[in-house]
Chain A
Amino acid sequence: MVLEVDNIELNFKNKRILNGIYLRAETGKVTSILGSNGCGKSSLLNIIFGNLKPKYKLVRVDGKAVLKPLYKTGIIKYLPQYHFIPNGISIKTAFKLFGVDWKAFVKTFGAFEKYASYKVNKLSGGERRVIETYIILKSKSNITILDEPFSHIAPLYIETIKTLIKEEKKQKVMLISDHLYKHIIESSDAIYLLKNASTKAIKDLKELEDYRYLSEGQL
């Protein structure tokens, strides 16, 4: 599957947030979006999912334009920056609703076994993030969007999440964004930099320094 996003224009009041966006992501590859704070990364991901309506947008799946919000097609899962599972829901119910195997989860994240009957709001922010990330990664979908999957997560779990991303990309279009650029660079097959409201495809990591996303020698 190939996901293409084109011709997006988003303004907040008089401020231009996104303009002249082009992005291509395909099954088998992790496509990442890097950019400084407030550059519009999350807005772009929200637009792709269908949470945010821009002035213009063109989303194509396998070359065909999708006119309705992508989430209505049921082919996409989205991990936003905020906790998305409602407070009153038990962890096991959340797994059941998303069709994700709880036993397989516990096999990977043994420390969570005791939480099966807990409501999600009884967990710490980091633990909740691990569960939400796992659910989105393992749910049946063709496109997976992860907004800051490595933030607020313990280093040990980050490595596990990276392994899961690598496994899942074989059958999904994976689109991710995070400020922890080292993890992003390690996990990515294609990188876009969002700067001055538009995307720039990064062919050589050195360009991240040239575009002043990273300072000299930070790579």
Chain B
Amino acid sequence: MKHLLIFFHFYKTYIAWSFIITILLGFVDSHYISAVLTKLFLTIFAWYITNETSNKHKLTFYKNLGISIRTLFISMFVVDSVLTILIIFLFKI
């Protein structure tokens, strides 16, 4: 439960941008695989930007809770991909 709450706080920073991109992917009638690959690329990009800017200071909070940054971004990718597939599915019906 605690880990879920921590993950939610991390994910909510990215959720608005992710949702906008998912809607765009839905409008262009994206294939599931290409949508997930887009999300993979964006997750890696977010990871890179966070590590290379002062945003990496924010990661100390999660590290203090014993959570690795890799775990956070991988969890974000998995949850985000599931949500993306669901939204694109809704666009297709």
Contacts and interface: CB of A to CB of B under 8 A. Distances in A.
A77 B9 contact: no
A136 interface: yes
B57 A93 contact: no
Contact of A89 (B9, B57, B64, B68): B9
A183 B64 CA distance: 25
A84 to B, nearest CB: 4
A82 B9 CA distance: 19
B9 A71 contact: no
Would you call the interface of chain A mostly helix, strand, loop, or mixed? loop
A71 B12 contact: no
Interface in A89-105: 89, 93, 96-98
A155 interface: no
A85 interface: yes
Interface of B: 2, 5-6, 9, 12-13, 57-58, 60-61, 63-66, 68
Nearest to A135: B64
A86 B63 CA distance: 13
A136 B64 contact: yes
Contacts of A96: 5
Contact of A72 (B12, B61, B66): B66
Given A86-B9, A88-B9, A88-B12, A97 B65 contact: yes
A71 B13 CA distance: 23
A84 B64 contact: yes
Interface in A59-87: 69, 71-74, 77-78, 80, 82, 84-86
